[in-house]
Structure 1
Amino acid sequence: MILINLLPHREARRQERKRAFFSALGLAALVGAGIVILWFGVLQQMTSAQESRNRFLAEEIKKLEEQIKDVATLKAEIEALKARQKAVEDLQTDRNVPVYLLDELVKQTPEGIYLTSVKQSGNIVTIGGMSQTNERVSEMLRNTAYSSPWLERPELVEIKAVTLGKDREARRLFDFSMRVSIKRPQAPTGAGSAASAPKAKPAKVS
């Protein structure tokens, strides 16, 4: 006996394939949506973690900025204290300058020279005196230029021969004037330096 299928089997297979396609499409859509939701959640978690790190960094930066301000304030205070200390030291040194000046003049004035005047104007000192020879004056210029920690840049202003006394007691001397600058050496500082400075020889300065 022969059986004949009169149902539209082709249409049924077509409908079956269509249902399978839409089922697969729906499943793919669900999988894709799940992946998107999962990735979105991961991104949200990463963003939240990064924001938390950013907040932590911002707080630490703020703390560092405060510390930097404190350090800058301390540096400014230290510089101000150094400036005050230097002002006090300069004032102390300026107070002792006449003592050092007279002591240096005694040390650097060679034998045969007698000083008659010493005038100070700022850092410039004008010295007047009498010398037995020109060479003595040259020696004093060399001494103040190279051997003195307090005096520098000596300059001879004038020198002239004069005769003192009459007849047999007449003596030929050289009247001179010179300028010299005062400098501050590193060694002598403090109040005790003035007390420890050697006394000037009264025979040299009049």
Structure 2
Amino acid sequence: MILINLLPHREAARKRRRETFYATLGLSAVLGGVIAGMAFLWYQAQISSQQSKNSLLQSAITKLESEIKEISTLQAEIAALRARQQAVEDLQGDRNMPVHLLNELVRQLPDGVYLTSMKQDNQTVTLQGMAQSNERVSELLRNLGNNSPWLVKPELIEITSGNVNLSPRDQRRVANFTMRIGLKRPTDAQKAATPAGKTAAPAVNKG
């Protein structure tokens, strides 16, 4: 007996292929969704971990900034205290500056030079006087610039010729001068007088 299949076998084969294709497509979609979900969860975990690290760093930075601000405040207070201490020392030393000035002028003033006026403005002193000659004025400048630990930077402002009446019949030619000098504070003079790095040697008992 001969059997003949009259069913549309080509349509059935195409149907099976479509079903297989759709099943494979659905499985791929599910697998892709699972992989995407796992990747999303992994990235979320990394983001959370980094955010926690950032929070720790930010708190540490905030703490350091507050400490730096406190240190800056302390440094400003220390600088202010040092400035006040220096001001007090300068005031105490400035009380003796006129004495040092007069002593130095008496010591450094050469013969034949006379002072007629003296004006002090802070640490600058302006002198006016007369001398027997220009050479005497030059000698005074050298003395003030080289031989005095209290007076610095003498500067001749003006020198002019003049006459002085010693008697109704006797006149002398003189050199009228004006000069400016700097006056050191006692603390500055002491620093200049002490060589750098020199310290007092300790006493040794030789027995």
TM-score by length of 2: 0.72
The runs of 5 or more residues in structure 1 that have no matched partner are: 191-206
Residue 89 of structure 1 aligns to which amino acid in structure 2?
E
Deviations 1:13-38 (A, max 9, x none): 12211211111011101101101100
1:138 shift after superposition: 2.5
Give the Cα separation in 1 of the matches to 2:88 and 2:190.
11
SS at match of 1:188: helix
From the superposition, tell whether residues 157 and 132 of structure 1 become closer, same or farther in structure 2 (CA, over 3 Å).
closer
Taking only aligned residues, the RMSD between alpha carbons, in angstroms, comes to: 3.2
TM-score by length of 1: 0.72
From the superposition, tell whether residues 94 and 173 of structure 1 become closer, same or farther in structure 2 (CA, over 3 Å).
farther
1:113 shift after superposition: 3.5
1:188 aligned partner: 189
SS at match of 2:5: coil
1:141 to 2:121 alignment: no
Residue 120 of structure 1 aligns to which amino acid in structure 2?
K
SS at match of 2:189: coil
More displaced, 77-86 or 131-140? Answer: 131-140
Residue 77 of structure 1 aligns to which amino acid in structure 2?
E
- Are the aligned partners of 1:108 and 1:140 in contact in 2 as well (CA < 8 Å)? yes
State the number of aligned residues. 186
1:178 to 2:178 alignment: yes
- Are the aligned partners of 1:89 and 1:189 in contact in 2 as well (CA < 8 Å)? no
| Structure ranking higher on relative contact order (CA contacts 8 Å, 6+ apart) | 1
The residue correspondences of 1:122-161 to structure 2 (distance < 5 A) are: 122=121, 123-128=124-129, 131=131, 133-149=133-149, 150-151=151-152, 152-156=154-158, 160-161=162-163
Give the Cα separation in 1 of the matches to 2:40 and 2:76.
52
Give the Cα separation in 1 of the matches to 2:35 and 2:94.
86
Give the Cα separation in 2 of the matches to 1:171 and 1:162.
5
- Are the aligned partners of 2:113 and 2:136 in contact in 1 as well (CA < 8 Å)? no
Residue 153 of structure 1 aligns to which amino acid in structure 2?
E
From the superposition, tell whether residues 28 and 160 of structure 1 become closer, same or farther in structure 2 (CA, over 3 Å).
same
Give me the identity figure in percent. Answer: 42
- Are the aligned partners of 2:117 and 2:128 in contact in 1 as well (CA < 8 Å)? yes
